[in-house]
Chains A and B, each alone.
Chain A
Amino acid sequence: MALPGAAGFTGPYLAPGNSFFDFALAAAPEALPAHQAYHSTHPGTHPGTLPDAAPQATTIVALTFRDGLVMAGDRRATMGLAIASREMEKVYPADRMSAIGVAGSAGLALQLVRLFQLELSHYEKIEGAPLSLEGKANRLATLLRANLGLALKGLAAVPLLGGYDNSTARIFSYDVTGGHYEEHDFHAIGSGAVFAKGSLKKLWRANLPQRTAVKVAITALTDAADDDAGTGGVDAARAIWPVVAVVTQDGYQRIDEAKLAGLMEAKR
């Protein structure tokens, strides 16, 4: 890593720009996950064999409601047919006003989250103001594109971005090439997405109150867990709940498990 030496800050440290990723690519490319893809001489493993060798993270759902958006992710990570983790977290704050959820190769996915969080705070510190939501969505696409080499070798990670900007909540989905698409009302990604989406399609209404929106998110994950082996539902025996977060004008807030339990209890 090119940390400043006897001459102090030189080269990339003094170059113009406000992106952490661009800076790190110049100053310390080995620290970035994309580096291995660019420089690897490995012939490339056949797609379909690698996912068994690394944990996979699964279903994320997001939906808008009256005051913002809810994003929720189950806690399971799988390696082939084995369960690698039953308490992995896949939904994180990207910054104060946005949430990011990830599906796919777990190590890369979490790296992507970390890099994206850093990219946003880095920009904010240098420029003195946060990026617009559209700007955040574009930056995330750039980070993903850098991962394309690994994605083609079967190590793909795909995010779902939700944010609150100018009094509206918006959801963006991505593909491994960095293509990003604005989704309306609700969306789901990961192995259980088909089932979760079916559920969301029936339950989503315009202007839902937050309580109902959270219930809808958990119900969609439960439906996904019912039919997809890669998705974990609510684990009542161990009291493991999905990670559920809301983003409203008050910012990102994770809903604690006791509250979720109370909410789902009240349904019956």
Chain B
Amino acid sequence: MTIPAYVPPEQLIKDRADFARRGVARGRPAVVVSMADGILLATHNPSRALVKISEIYDRIAFAGVGKYNEFEALRVAGIRYADLRGYAYDRSDVTARGLAGAYAQTVAAAFTAEPKPLEVEVAVAEVGATQADDAVFLVSYDGSVNDEHPWAVLGGPAGPARQALAQAWRPGLSLPDAARLALDVLGQDVPDGEVEAARLVRSAIPGRTFQRLTEPLRRYAA
């Protein structure tokens, strides 16, 4: 009988984290930015059919990067979670916080218990009545959740663009300003046809606020 080699838990977690982090960093980035009249979501996505940004519920949107099949499963589960909650209780009882919690549990369970951690990073954005009520939750590959500020950058290499967004973001951004910041993060050399973008429109509350931007994002930035 062979005895498996002892691997210290610290090493095990580190190996898994490195594996997941590399997987996520390979993905093309996505960015979520709260602005005066809503929340802007944009990502570099050469495919038109396979979306990375999606409507979840009236005021809630999703963005995911990493392995497509993995974040797509999370996206669909999120829509089901929101619709079931809204059906059983009330539409106003569906919150991004609850959904981010469920995502965190899912991703964390896979990180420790599954043969392979999920190579994903997802954001859940909720538009509020005022910009102060906007919430953006960032769920990482290990299940950690960050909601420190109403903007998020997912995937891609950690570069100066990320720092720039942190410094340039301020409350009350207009759509053109937000679009410019988003394009800075995605990379100014990304072709127009490869930017997938959508927004949550504050004035559409209490209805469905999600709206795909059909024109290239660069045109909004002008």
Interface residues of A (CB under 8 A from B): 1, 3-9, 12-14, 20, 23-24, 27-28, 31, 114-115, 118, 121-122, 125-126, 128
Contacts and interface: CB of A to CB of B under 8 A. Distances in A.
Contacts of A115: 87
Given A9-B74, A122-B79, A126-B76, A31 B109 contact: no
Interface string B68-105: 00000110110111011111100000000000001111
A1 B81 CA distance: 11
Interface in B31-51: 51
Interface of chain A: mostly helix, strand, loop or mixed: helix
B88 A4 contact: no
A118 B106 contact: no
B55 interface: yes
A14 B55 contact: no
A192 to B, nearest CB: 31
Q: Which 3 A-B residue pairings sit nearest by Cβ, starting from the closest?
A: A8-B106, A8-B105, A9-B77
Contacts of B102: 3-4, 8-9
A200 B207 CA distance: 35
Contacts of B153: none
B76 A4 contact: no
A9 B81 contact: yes
B108 interface: yes
Size band of the B side of the interface? 20 to 34
A9 B76 CA distance: 10
B83 A4 contact: no
Contacts of A13: 76-77, 80-81
Contacts of A7: 105-106, 109
A126 B76 CA distance: 6
B45 to A, nearest CB: 13
A3 B106 contact: no
A24 B84 CA distance: 7
Contact of A6 (B55, B88, B103, B109): B109
B68 to A, nearest CB: 14
B54 interface: yes
A121 B82 CA distance: 12
B107 interface: yes
Nearest to B73: A14
Nearest to B106: A8
A122 B86 CA distance: 12
Contacts of B88: 1, 28, 31
A122 B81 contact: no
Nearest to B212: A128
B87 A27 contact: no
Nearest to B51: A128
B56 interface: yes
A125 B56 CA distance: 7
Contact of B84 (A6, A27, A121): A27
A20 B110 CA distance: 25
Contacts of B107: 8
B87 A24 contact: yes
A41 B102 CA distance: 36
20 contacts: A3-B102, A4-B81, A7-B109, A8-B103, A8-B104, A8-B105, A8-B106, A9-B73, A9-B102, A13-B77, A14-B73, A14-B76, A20-B80, A20-B84, A121-B83, A122-B79, A125-B54, A125-B79, A126-B79, A128-B51
B57 to A, nearest CB: 8
A123 to B, nearest CB: 10
A27 B80 CA distance: 10
